[in-house]
Every structure is written in C-alpha cells, then in structure tokens.
Amino acid sequence: MTFARNQVAIAGYAQSPIVRHADRTLGAIAVDTARAAIADAGLNVADVDGFTTGSLLPSSGGQAIVDGMSIVSAAWMAESLGVNPRFCSGFVGYGQIPGSVSLAVNAIASGAAETVVVHRALHNPPKGRYHGNPMTKAPGTAQWMAPMGYWGPLSMIAIPTMEYMQRYGATREDLAEVAVEARANGAQIPWSYWYDKPLSKDDYMAARVLSDPICMYDCDIPVDGVAAFVFTTAERAKDLANNPVYVQGFGMGSPTRARIPQHWPLEDIVDTGAETAARLWESSGLSVRDVDVPQLYDGFSPLVWWWLESLGYCERGEAFRFVSEGGINRANGGLPALSSGGAIGNGRMHGVPQMLEVYLQLAQRAGERQLASANVGVACHSSPHYGGAVLYSAHEL
Amino acid sequence: MKPIPVPDATSAGYWEAANRGVLALPRCSRCSHFTLPAGALCPHCGSTDPAWTTEAVAGDATVRSWTVVRDSFLPGFAADVPYVIVDVELDVEPGLRLLGRLTDGADAPLHLGDRVTVAFDRLDDEFAVPAFSLTEEQVTS
C-alpha cells in the first residue's frame, strides 16, 4: 500500500478572529474566511471544485444544530460560494481535521477534484452551558451514562487521566506544565483568545477542579472561529502564491473493544494511539526523528502526554516526567509541541491551531515564531485512539 | 430530576433486573460471553445472531479508575455533587467495564485494584441504577 506522497499540497489559508461570541453569524464568517483563503492562494472562487469539512459541534449539550448558524457543512459552503462542486463531503467522527483533510487528499489524488477548500467552523452557543443538558429521559446510548450521573467530556477524560496518575505517579503539578506551556505560547499569538494572557502555575493550581483531576484550565475555552485551507495538486501549487506544503502521510484509527459509550479507558487510548502513529510513519516513510514541527493536540491537557507516548517521543508512563523536565518548553529549547498555543492557548478551534502552525512553519510564514528548522510537521487532532494525524513536508520527498 | 433510562429491546432485561436489585447482563447464546451494552452482534464471537439472554451475575469487580464529579452537567445531579464515578472491571467477564457511582462518598480512599461490589441507586418507583460499594477484601493489585 502506497500513500499519495508528493501529489497534494496546501496552497493557502485564512483564519477568522477567535472570539468568545462573534457579532456575526458563523456562516458569514465562514464564507469570508473561505474567500480569503482562496485569495491567499492566488486563486479565484471559480478555481475551486471541491469542499470538505467536519462540521461537528463538539458539545454534549442540548443545542439546536442549524447549518450556517451553529455548524457550517461542506454543502452549505459550496452553495453559499456559488460553486457546483465536483466533490463535496463531510467527515463524520472524531478527528475532524485529519478526517476532512483525508477526504480532500483522496479527492485530489484520485482526480475527483483539483482544488479543495477544507474549512472548520467552531461555534460557542450564546445561551446556556456548553455541555449542560437538561434531559430527564435517557434513551439510546445516553441510558448507559446519564442515569448514573456520568455525562460530558470532562468525566470522560478525567477517568483515564486518574488512571494514568495513579499508575505512574503523575500529579496535577505535572498536568499544569502542559496548560502553562500552551498558554505561554498562546499569549504571544495575536489572533488567540488568550493573547497577552499567560497562565501562571499558581493560578492553575488554585483553579476549581471540575472532575478530578481535571480543572478548568485543562480544558480549552469555547469560541467562535473559522479556518480554511486550500488544497490542490502539487503541480498546481508550485505555480501559486505561497510555498507549497506537501501532504506526505496520514494516520487514523478507532478502537475495536466494546465499551460503554464515551468510556475511554487508558489502554484504549495508548494501544490504538500506537497503531495510529505506526500508520503515520509507514505511510510517510519517515519516523519521529524526522519531525521538526510536532503539533500535539491539547483539547484536554493530558492528551499531550498520550500523543507524546503514542508518537514515540516517550515510553508509556513517562510523558508526564518528560514534560515536567522541560521536554516541551519551547522557550528553553524543548520540542515546539505547543508552539501554536494549541487549543488551550487559542480557544476551542479543534485541531486548527496544530494544522495552522504546521502550515505556517513549513511555508516559512510563521513570522516571529518561525523555527530555524521547519521541514517536516505533524498535525494531531483529538485523542490518539479516535483522532489522527497528518504529516506534511516543506519539500517533496 | 435525574435522567431516567428509556429501555429498548436489548436493555429491557437489564433495567428490569436492576429495579429488583439484581445485576443482569446480556449474554451471547453462541459463545456465552457477557457484554454491555448488547448490540446487533456479539463483540466476542462476531455472531450476528447472538440471541441475547439476560443473566444475573455476581456484582464483584475491581476498580480500574475513577473521577470525583464536582460540577455535573446534568441539572438532576446538581444537589449530589461531589460524587465519585468508578470505572470497574467485572469479575464475571474479564475486560467488561462498567461505570457507576461509588456509594462510599467523595472522600473515600480509593486505589487502583480496590475491590467493590454492586449496589443500586433508586431513581423512582420503576428504575434503579447500578452503583458500587467498597468491600473489606484485601487489595491484591
């Protein structure tokens, strides 16, 4: 099996401001962002013939789903831009960023489309709690969770985090190092919700614990924001405005063990995560040692530990110590794993900060954050066992 | 008000037994393994005709992890916080995990490998849900 290396590239991008609540509809922001990305690539809307996205509103709350308002589907985007697309598809599942990128790569490599806009629109509903749910009846999958008082992603992530801490001796002090690093970087990024607002370790330790051991600063804050990337053939990208960034590898997966819904035991995360990483390295022909722009997903801070272990930066049970000893401390020469600020340092942009940072670094467009060496990047999203990662390079391999 | 389960074809027996204070699990008629929740096929043997039965089991289990819920996203549990949700592995079927409230309170000392047994929290006249209580057994792992 051979991955479509050197065939597909990112040609341009745009991102909206990241705000708590936008004063315009999500659809309007998404269309503006897509048009800006197409222009950034040096193309016109008429040059685009494909659209993909993952449109999940990542909430367990009782919010209404309205296309163009609370979500933005690929079909809504195509129609709103006035394009009759050759290819239009939405990814369903966790890992919306690698998932929707894979749809675009497949479409371009197969010839189903030539130039595809991949967008991601995230919404923070204006009323109510993001994950609050007033249900009084629990049908379907909810019957296995809500009647017992188990609900929402905080407890879902808290249970494997507690197991990890108990098994390996990690503490909240160790988890603090992830959140503080994400916010230190996010504080230097002008578009971040947390721009100029770093987090001190003392503030982290004093924060309210919501579901032991997870506190509010282990979570990304819900926001309104949109990003769009323009993918096209490598041949065409070479003639366009920006340095092409090539798609060179892909890994996703999902566990096969039967579980209660939204129960994420630690062994599922790291076992399937290792398989996902193996697929990433096999498809790219590269290894973790070749990566100079690793961007690990941090929608919850412990996910950074598990991506470090899944990708092979650390043995199982050792990532917390690696992080606490400065292993991802960018300012002191550690891996730039959260140089984007991540989700914790930007807001709940669901894998966009990781992908954007890989793109900006590899295209030599990262400005003051530009790394001296930026040849191979990995953009991770979601959990290692349900999400995935895409490997990019600055040059053909 | 706490969310009340809405039983369906494969869960009716489970909830009926729970209401009587009995833990009863779906069992595949082909390979005899237990699973939860039961679906279209058996995750152990792959049979698409598992002919699920619901059989009472001993509720002895080992703690694999837990969390203390201090802020419930379900309004019906707002008065109950803080409470502990334990992640347990049942003795009757290695690898089969359940999530339920720990009846010993939010300050109970807990360790991986602690032994628990099933208890039940009553929701209303028709529904009780499995929960777990620490036992006096020595911790072995």
Q: Give contacts of A 40-69 with B, CB under 8 A.
A: 60-61
For B77, name the nearest residue in chain A, comparing CA atoms only: A149
Mean pLDDT of A242-268: 96
For B127, name the nearest residue in chain A, comparing CA atoms only: A147
Confidence bin at A128 (pLDDT 50/70/90):
confident
Please check the confidence at residue B140 and state whether its pLDDT lies above 80: no
Give the C-alpha separation, A148 to B45, whole Å: 29
- Provide, as residue numbers in chain A, all residues whose Cβ is less than 8 Å from the Cβ of B15: 143
Mean pLDDT of B75-92: 97
- The pLDDT tens digits for A305-323 are 999 999 999 999 999 999 9
Q: Is residue B78 part of a domain?
A: yes
Distances in Å between the Cα of A250 and the Cα atoms of A285, A286, A353, A379 are 11, 11, 18, 10
- The pLDDT tens digits for A231-240 are 999 999 999 9
pLDDT at A138: 96
pLDDT at A60: 78
Domain boundaries, chain A: 8-128+222-393
* CATH code of the domain in which B25 resides: 2.40.50.840
Please check the confidence at residue A148 and state whether its pLDDT lies above 90: yes
- The pLDDT tens digits for A11-63 are 999 999 999 999 999 999 999 999 999 999 999 999 999 999 999 888 878 77
The CATH code that applies to domain A8-128+222-393 is 3.40.47.10
Please check the confidence at residue A270 and state whether its pLDDT lies above 50: yes
Q: Give contacts of A 215-274 with B, CB under 8 A.
A: 257-261, 263, 265-266
The model's pTM is 0.97
Number of structural domains found in chain B: 1
pLDDT at A59: 82
Q: Is residue B121 part of a domain?
A: yes
- The pLDDT tens digits for A78-97 are 999 999 999 999 999 899 99
Question: Which of A129, A135, A211 faces B3 most closely, judged by CB atoms?
Answer: A135
- The contacts found for A368-376 with CB under 8 angstroms, 24 or more apart, are A368/A188, A369/A188, A369/A189, A369/A339, A371/A292, A371/A293, A371/A336, A371/A339, A373/A292, A374/A292, A374/A293, A375/A292, A375/A293, A376/A248, A376/A286, A376/A290, A376/A291, A376/A292, A376/A293
Mean pLDDT of A88-112: 97
Please check the confidence at residue B138 and state whether its pLDDT lies above 70: no
Q: Which of A150, A165, A175, A218 to mutate to test the interface with B (most CBs of B within 10 A)?
A: A150
Q: Give contacts of A 114-143 with B, CB under 8 A.
A: 129, 131-143
ipTM: 0.96
Q: Which of B41, B70, B87 to mutate to test the interface with A (most CBs of A within 10 A)?
A: B87
Range of the domain at B24: 12-134
How many angstroms separate the CA of residue B85 from the nearest CA in chain A? 7
- Provide, as residue numbers in chain B, all residues whose Cβ is less than 8 Å from the Cβ of A154: 71, 73
- The pLDDT tens digits for A354-380 are 999 999 999 999 999 999 999 999 999
